[in-house]
Amino acid sequence: MNLVILGAPGSGKGTQAARIAEREKIRHISTGDLLREAVAKGTAVGKQVAGIMAAGQLVPDDVVLELIREKLADAEERAKTNGWILDGYPRTARQAEALEEVLKTTGETIDAVIYIDLDPDVVVNRLSKRRTCVACKAVYHLVSNRPAIQGKCDACGGEIVLREDDKPETIMKRLEVYKKETLPVLSLYEKHHKVHRVDGSKPIEEVTSEIAGLIGV
Ligand SMILES: [Zn+2]
């Protein structure tokens, strides 16, 4: 089963992708992970990506697509699992079209698209209460996952802070970009694929069971 998961920042898309992958024994292909992995491995692409990220620029589409193509085509991983869930790509209609071209070369198709729907107010509320450890990057939440000692990381004792990305004004900007760029992907997919919408405001476990039910497993 090959899936694409879409959702706004803060919708829980990454968490759900990981849970569905685990449950269905399929690969979780996250563009964030692919980029970090490439940088960590120090491959040619990794070095290029590290430079771009250090300069605070966006990694070009063709670089991300190449990483995905390599991952999809990986014979060893293909032999081990029966499908994948793509998380973090495509973000734009152009990327969606490029992905279709890649899938032609791997002989695969997207079986279903999962869209996690979430009200922007809920997103802002969720993300602005998130705190991140400056040292180990552990993530906390002021309501649902508070550190034992206020302002200190449980894991390493580091300082926990509100990331620039999680400030309400930054979130609003990210949501604007998302609406402008990613909602066209949804319209495009609605024409060609089966799109399942789920309510992202429900608890994590409920959202996972709903997705599992919708994709028929
Ligand atoms: Zn820490």
pLDDT (tens digit per residue) in 74-122: 989 888 898 999 999 999 999 999 999 999 999 999 999 999 999 988 9
Say how many Å lie between the CA of residue 203 and the centre of ligand 1. Answer: 25
Residue 125 pLDDT grade (very low, low, confident, very high; cuts 50, 70, 90): confident
Strand locations in 8-80 (E): 27-30
**Residue of 78, 146, 152, 174 marked catalytic:** 174
Q: What is the mean pLDDT of the chain?
A: 93
Query: In 3D, which of 86, 183, 166, 92 has the Cα closest to residue 127?
Result: 166
Taking residues 144-155, report their average pLDDT: 94
Whether residue 186 is predicted with pLDDT greater than 90 in this model: the reply is yes
Annotation says 126 is catalytic: no
pLDDT score of 104 = 95
Q: Is it the case that residue 165 has pLDDT exceeding 90?
A: no
Tell me the pTM: 0.85
Q: Is pLDDT of 9 > 90? A: no
CA of 145 to the centre of ligand 1 (A): 14
- Does residue 152 come out as left (phi exceeding 0), alpha (psi in the -120 to 50 range) or beta? beta
pLDDT of residue 131: 95
Residue from 163, 167, 197, 202 carrying the catalytic annotation: 163
Task: Please give the distance, rounded to the nearest whole angstrom, from the Cα atom of residue 151 to the centre of ligand 1.
Answer: 11
- Ligand 1 center to residue 14 CA distance, Å? 21
Query: How far is C-alpha 104 from the chain's CA centre?
Result: 23
Active site residue 13: yes
**Contact call for residues 12 and 207 (beta carbons, < 8 A):** yes
